Amino acid sequence: MRGTLAVARYTLLDLSRRRILLVFFIIGALGIALIGTALKLFSSTFTGGAFSGPSGTTPDPANVNRFLDLMFVTDLVGALGLFALLIAFGIGMTAIYHDLESGAAVAIFSKPVSRLAFTGGKVSAAAAALIVIVGLLSLEAMLFGLLFGGGLEQTLAIEAVAQVANALTLMLIVLALSTWMNNIVAAIVAFIYNAAGGVVVALHNSLASSVNFGDSAILKDGINVLYWLVPHQLTSDAPRELVKAEIQLFAVPGQPGPDLNQALAAVPGPSGANDIIWWAFVVLVMATLVYIAVRRRQV
């Protein structure tokens, strides 16, 4: 425990002085501020009357405001997710790789610290750094929400937690790969794996709603198998809420609108217990891979 704490403490100190993370954080903070301000300026300029539904109907201004609020939140969390991923790459590529490659590990491993304690300290510090940085960006996003009316803090908070969880998975994948290979190659492999995972999950969601696959059992089985080989992005109900609000906003009174269930099928729904358990499993597997690589490493 003593070794884990020491490694975690000084890894955090080392990470906090890396300019690349500071640059990502500043870009993230400025990006969120710019997006928040631009969207609110847009929403205050174009109020209910500026929108028109089919056949020239004017939607309810309350619906328009609700839609703009949701759009605001969705764009903010989108920006937050992007910067969280950048920070995940930044931490994952540096937290352990430099110690192993520079020779710092030679001095560290000659001290009475086990490889398990070293790995525990590194992974804890990397996770803490990610949570703190993305947490600060989330707080900034929430502050913008409050400054411009508020009311969606809970949605934003849940989505921010999901984004942190997704970024943590990606960071651990980069961290695990960087113990086996060059850190730039590790980042590229992790990026491809993550993107492929996103495609597989989207295909699986379409499969679940019986869209676009016809009766191909082989294709369905293949996608089902692939689905359990990739991390599942965690999501809140914010994306579906936005689509719902959009449909309601443009619905023509007295006429049947589009089938809500069909419209929502393509939008990822809020993650369930299975997704959360799978996420925890993937995190555990990646942390174990980091440990195995560190344990086997001869320096």
C-beta of 100 vs 142, nearer to other proteins = 100
Residues 6+ apart with CB under 8 A from 214: none
Give the count of residues interacting with other proteins (CB under 8 A): 29
What's the Cα-to-Cα distance from 61 to each of 32, 40, 46, 56, 109, rounded to whole Å?
26, 16, 11, 15, 65
C-beta of 24 vs 279, nearer to other proteins = 24
Does residue 110 belong to the site contacting other proteins (CB under 8 A)? yes
Amino acid type, 77 = V
Find the farthest-apart pair of alpha carbons in the chain and give their distance in angstroms, rounded: 77
Work out which of 14, 60, 75, 246 binds other proteins, going by CB under 8 A: 14
Shortest distance, CB of residue 257 to other proteins, whole angstroms? 57
Per-residue contact string for residues 18-57; x = within reach of other proteins by CB under 8 A: x---------------------------------------
Angle at 83 between CA 233 and CA 206, to 5 degrees: 25
Does residue 2 belong to the site contacting other proteins (CB under 8 A)? yes
Shortest distance, CB of residue 133 to other proteins, whole angstroms? 16
Q: Residue 199 burial (CB < 10 Å; 0-12/13-18/19+)? A: exposed
Does residue 1 belong to the site contacting other proteins (CB under 8 A)? no
Do 248 and 258 touch, CB atoms closer than 8 A?
no
Does residue 108 belong to the site contacting other proteins (CB under 8 A)? yes
Q: Which stretch binds other proteins (CB under 8 A): 110-118, 191-199, 208-216, 233-241?
A: 110-118
Smallest Cα–Cα separation from 176: which of 156, 163, 190?
Answer: 190
Residue ranges that bind other proteins, judged by CB under 8 A? 2-3, 5-7, 9-11, 13-15, 17-18, 98-99, 102-104, 106-114, 298-299
